Structure 1
Amino acid sequence: MKTTITGGEILVDSLVRNDVKDLFFIPGIQLDWAVEALRKRPGEINLFVPRHEQSTTYMADGYYRATGKTGTAMVVPGPGALNAGAGLATAYASNSGMVFITPQIHSGGVGKAYGLLHEIKDQSGYIKGLTKWHTLVGAPTAISGAVSEAYSRAGNGRPRPVGIEIPHDYLQTTVDVAAVGSTVTVEKEGCDPIEERVLGEAAALINSARLPVLYIGGGVIASNAGDSVRRIAERIGAPIVMSDNGRGAVSDRHPLAMNSLAGRAVFEHADVVVVIGSRFADAMTPTASWPAGATKYVYINIDAGDLTPPRAPDVAIVADAGHALASLEDRLEKRVALSNERAAEVKSWAQAQISMIQPQAAYIEAMRNALPEDGIFVNELTQVGYLSRIAFPVYEPRTYIGPGYQGTLGYGFPVALGAAVGGGGRRVLSITGDGGFGWNLQELATAKRYNLPVTLVVFNDGHYGNVRAIQNRVFGAEIAVDLCNPDFQLLAKAFGVPSVQVDTPEALGAAIRDSLSGGPVLIEVKIGVVPSPWHLLRLQPMAGMKGPEAPENPLDRATQ
């Protein structure tokens, strides 16, 4: 029986004991003893090695969002950790459970500015700023406890990344097996009994409302509470307005399910709004997503910080969404606040405006028709992607992935690769612009190496299209937005990835259908200048975003 163990072996053993099946990492000298420990345990953890450190955290993010299982990323310290920062920031903004592991410099040099290899000033502070919990391991024997606590915390409460730093000499150090620390777990958050008084106040507001509206965010998906939302909506006849992060929690086919554009129509008539698992805050200004006015608000959120100003809850419930809704459901009186027929009018009102944005709407329709219903759609910051936030129908949870409030250009393709790893063979459709694709086009090598089922659609207009549109709208001129692109067909060929170029929605749909089996495929779509969809996005459009005047709100008309 083995009586001694290295710190690297402790780390790998801890990963296995915490049920890590897939690891996204790039090896390097400070990780040598951990990587050697992985080599000695073949088949226990699947190893995915991308071509840039930022892709380790992006892939771990996509893995979580497709599965609900904590993703794991590991890179060397210093520049490695810095490179991984964009993926950490995106995961933090998108509420993704992730364990981020990086060594530190030698334990005797931490904080002393000796100029050791990969040393940066205050690496711990940097990681703390991108995670909800962080620890710097203080001894080789403490590695096991730190890892178990990290996994316990990552998915507990509001899912977000957590960070572990391990001085690299600890990974090489040999210790007695008997001295290895025990596991550490934390108490589950968000499931304590909710005060009867608070539940009663919430139910009273909802029951007295003329038109209650349910506004749901990513917290509903994280708590698997979509069915609870649906039951309550059907019980009281309330429309369900889904934020970008909440897309798919309830199928878009449900008669009461609405995107944020349709949400404008019902919010104008709502007298009570129940905000469930959402920050409910504007992306550009420190204001709520919709002004309070005479409307009353019930907020349900596991994070008490999301119940504070600029939001103004009349009733605030700090709890997991599923737990809170289960406690509230039977207190609500059965009725029909909004009939399915009136809801259909609202949805048609929104769709008519979406259909005017061409050719984007046609491309989105072609993509949706070609992708299987359980396929995973990864949206990006591109002209077709912006409209997709409201126009791409979503039928199942965890089949729509967006950038969150971080808005990280170029995140989509590596996130899609992680989603493909976790997706159990489901096809992943990743869209990007030619500008954003430049951030991670090297990951075609990763898609090919692991034969991942990803269809990548690159909309190529030769520019940073959204920046160009803003410059021309605001200043009447453009600068620094034109791109010198590679030949994307030759690029794909160089990586051994099949590719095709198309220029119509019909051809795009056919190319996607042709791509649905096997490994990665790149589809390039040549497009020109397209109309802005921004006046249709969000409950309230961003300042200065003007478009055609909206048709009359169907709820302004009296019920016949």
Structure 2
Amino acid sequence: MQRPLGAQISHMLKARGVDVIFGIPGVHNQEMYRGIEEAGITHVLARHEGGAAFMADGYARATGSPGVCYVITGPGLTNAMTALGQSYSDSVPVLAISSCLADVSARFGQLHQMKDQRAAAETVCDWSEEARSPEGAYRLIERAFTEFACARPRPKHVQVPIPLLEGLADPAPAPGPRPRMPRAPDADLEAVLRAVLGAEKPLFIFGGGARGAADAIPALLEMTGAASFTTYAGRGLVPEGTALSFGSYLARPDSDAVLAEADLVIVAGSELAEVDLWRDMPDLPGQMVRIDLDPQVLATARAGDLAVCADAGAFLSAMRIAIPARAEDRTPRWSADRVADTRQRWAAEVAAERPGIPEVCAALKAVLPEGTMIYSDMTTFAYAAKELWDMARPGHWHHPTGFGTLGYALPAAIGGAVARKGLPTLAIAGDYGFQYTVQELAVAVELGLPLPILLWDNGKLGEIEASMIRAQIAPNAVDVRNPDFCALARAYGAHAAAPEDLAGVQASVTEALQANGPTVIHVPTDIALR
């Protein structure tokens, strides 16, 4: 049965498992909305296209399935580009579908006209393509879902000319087969096993790309006698209390000394980028193994290192299966006492750098239900918590690590809460970043989401002020006049709380998780010192 192409696209997405689309309708993309209800897809109306794309990102991180957003031509797409850039840097599968003008070369002054909309989106996406026919649109969408299944997950953008969306089209083809992630050759597995079992002091670094091996990693560490770090994205892969775990303290400068002690470092599913280390990668004396899907990451391997192109989770799981057949009892050469002392020293450094935050972390951790998913913004609280807070499971704390955009936490947490109905979700934002996307509070109110939003308020751009002082720059333009956040929350129809001590914070979070809508919990930065 022929329908307008916009309606056919919605049916195509539903057939590929899409249940929710985040977006904003407009005159240029309204045909995309013709088929949403008929296809059985829920649409979440954002208040800004950037919020829609952040919500799609948060949904994807919560589910592991692609998040989808609909945006209009021109400013709709450019508004979404910041969020798409965040998804690119953090390897999140998001599909943005936009309308576009049919002719921008011979016609001028059209509504929402850009010089090259497709090329603009390509700067923050894995790729950006324009469909010139219904078949082309279907092929591009199928390509996106195929790549989400078998390559490093990153956002894609498909734009469709308005007349094409309005025209009749045959239905999209049925979903094709989904290939699996690349599997390393047996020779690569053998080489890595020899290296690991031949090492005296092996050390693993687990990144977010290793989440598929969550069940295998504890046994793998025990079998090999290896120590470990996790990146911020890999937190939760190594169970809390593991004796030889150095935690997520890679950004501590003297972690270089620990890495240098290892005669073999296995990096699984991580770029070890600047935002993981906050310094250049040290030139380690021992051999390294790099396990990653991305050839660009593997190209950084040194002569003599081992580079394995594979899904890190599947490869580590294969190691876990293969090792018992050949491993003898291994007495770890790492000292558990020294590991514990080192972690304690690093935790003390964080507490000295950011007083009061460890106490708030402990208070929150004590009352949050098991399985709570946390979305944080670029804020001082999150910077400390990413080091201090051991996660009980992977993929449950999401942070705008790579692109580092403000305004992430609230809309991404809304996307996560939509994805995990009935399960606890917490947003953490600073007073400045919260105001980037505060309008999305209306979405959480409309949806009745029981979402606590911990608002960490220091009344300034605290991290920027500290950085300027270190650089001997007068800290100009860092003090801000904030609104009455509780009154602002109530104006949107949300709940609000202003606890006066840590017990009050705990009570406010507990109540917010049972509320009939979102709750802004205003927390001054000195609350632990009161």
Whether the aligned pair in 1 keeps the contact of 2:207 and 2:232 (CA below 8 Å) is yes
Cα deviation for residue 187 of structure 1 reads 4.1
- 1:131 corresponds, among 120, 125, 128, to 125
For 1:194-239, what per-residue CA distance to the aligned partner results, in whole angstroms no more than 9, with x for missing partners? 151x333322322232211110111012xx1122222211111212
Cα deviation for residue 503 of structure 1 reads 4.0
Q: Distance in 2 between matches of 1:141 and 1:366?
A: 55
The answer to whether residue 263 in structure 2 is matched with residue 271 in structure 1 is: yes
Q: Distance in 1 between matches of 2:90 and 2:170?
A: 41
Closer/same/farther in 2, CA of residues 72 and 158 from structure 1, 3 Å limit = same
Q: Which deviates more, 123-132 or 90-99?
A: 123-132
For 1:335-385, what per-residue CA distance to the aligned partner results, in whole angstroms no more than 9, with x for missing partners? 132365554444334334444442111111112112112001112221211
- 1:365 corresponds, among 337, 362, 366, to 362
1:348 is matched with 344
AA aligned to 1:126 is A
- Secondary structure of the equivalent of 1:279? coil
1:147 is matched with 141
1:471 is matched with 468
Q: Distance in 2 between matches of 1:73 and 1:188?
A: 25
1:216 is matched with 206
The answer to whether residue 386 in structure 2 is matched with residue 398 in structure 1 is: no
2:286 is matched with 295
- Secondary structure of the equivalent of 2:291? strand
Cα deviation for residue 175 of structure 1 reads 3.4
AA aligned to 1:225 is A
* Aligned-residue CA RMSD (Å): 2.5
Cα deviation for residue 147 of structure 1 reads 2.1
Closer/same/farther in 2, CA of residues 478 and 218 from structure 1, 3 Å limit = same
Whether the aligned pair in 2 keeps the contact of 1:7 and 1:141 (CA below 8 Å) is no
Whether the aligned pair in 1 keeps the contact of 2:206 and 2:270 (CA below 8 Å) is yes
Using the size of structure 1 for normalisation, the TM-score is 0.87
1:307 is matched with 298
Whether the aligned pair in 1 keeps the contact of 2:4 and 2:168 (CA below 8 Å) is yes
2:24 is matched with 26
Q: Distance in 2 between matches of 1:288 and 1:126?
A: 30
1:283 is matched with 275
Cα deviation for residue 271 of structure 1 reads 1.8
- Structure 1 unaligned spans of 5+: 532-560
Any residues of structure 2 matched to 1:418-429 within 5 Å, and which?
418-429=415-426
- Secondary structure of the equivalent of 1:499? strand
Number of residue pairs matched by the alignment: 518
- Structure 2 unaligned spans of 5+: none
Q: Distance in 2 between matches of 1:496 and 1:253?
A: 42
The answer to whether residue 11 in structure 2 is matched with residue 17 in structure 1 is: no
Q: Distance in 1 between matches of 2:288 and 2:199?
A: 11
- Secondary structure of the equivalent of 1:29? coil
Using the size of structure 2 for normalisation, the TM-score is 0.91
Any residues of structure 2 matched to 1:23-422 within 5 Å, and which?
23-41=21-39, 44-106=40-102, 109-112=103-106, 114-176=108-170, 187-191=179-183, 193-196=184-187, 198-221=188-211, 224-261=212-249, 264=255, 266-283=258-275, 288-289=280-281, 291-309=282-300, 314-329=305-320, 330-331=322-323, 333=327, 334-337=329-332, 338=334, 340=336, 342-356=338-352, 357-422=354-419
Any residues of structure 2 matched to 1:438-517 within 5 Å, and which?
438-475=435-472, 477-517=474-514
AA aligned to 1:19 is G
Closer/same/farther in 2, CA of residues 286 and 502 from structure 1, 3 Å limit = closer
Cα deviation for residue 246 of structure 1 reads 0.8
Whether the aligned pair in 2 keeps the contact of 1:380 and 1:431 (CA below 8 Å) is yes
Q: Which deviates more, 16-25 or 130-139?
A: 130-139
Whether the aligned pair in 1 keeps the contact of 2:218 and 2:239 (CA below 8 Å) is no
Cα deviation for residue 513 of structure 1 reads 1.8
Closer/same/farther in 2, CA of residues 312 and 413 from structure 1, 3 Å limit = farther
AA aligned to 2:24 is I
Q: Distance in 1 between matches of 2:401 and 2:69?
A: 20
Closer/same/farther in 2, CA of residues 336 and 111 from structure 1, 3 Å limit = farther
Q: Distance in 1 between matches of 2:120 and 2:107?
A: 16
**Percent identical across equivalent pairs?**
28
- Secondary structure of the equivalent of 1:306? helix
Cα deviation for residue 506 of structure 1 reads 3.1
Closer/same/farther in 2, CA of residues 182 and 416 from structure 1, 3 Å limit = closer
Closer/same/farther in 2, CA of residues 29 and 336 from structure 1, 3 Å limit = farther
Q: Distance in 2 between matches of 1:216 and 1:122?
A: 40
Whether the aligned pair in 1 keeps the contact of 2:16 and 2:175 (CA below 8 Å) is no
Whether the aligned pair in 1 keeps the contact of 2:104 and 2:114 (CA below 8 Å) is no
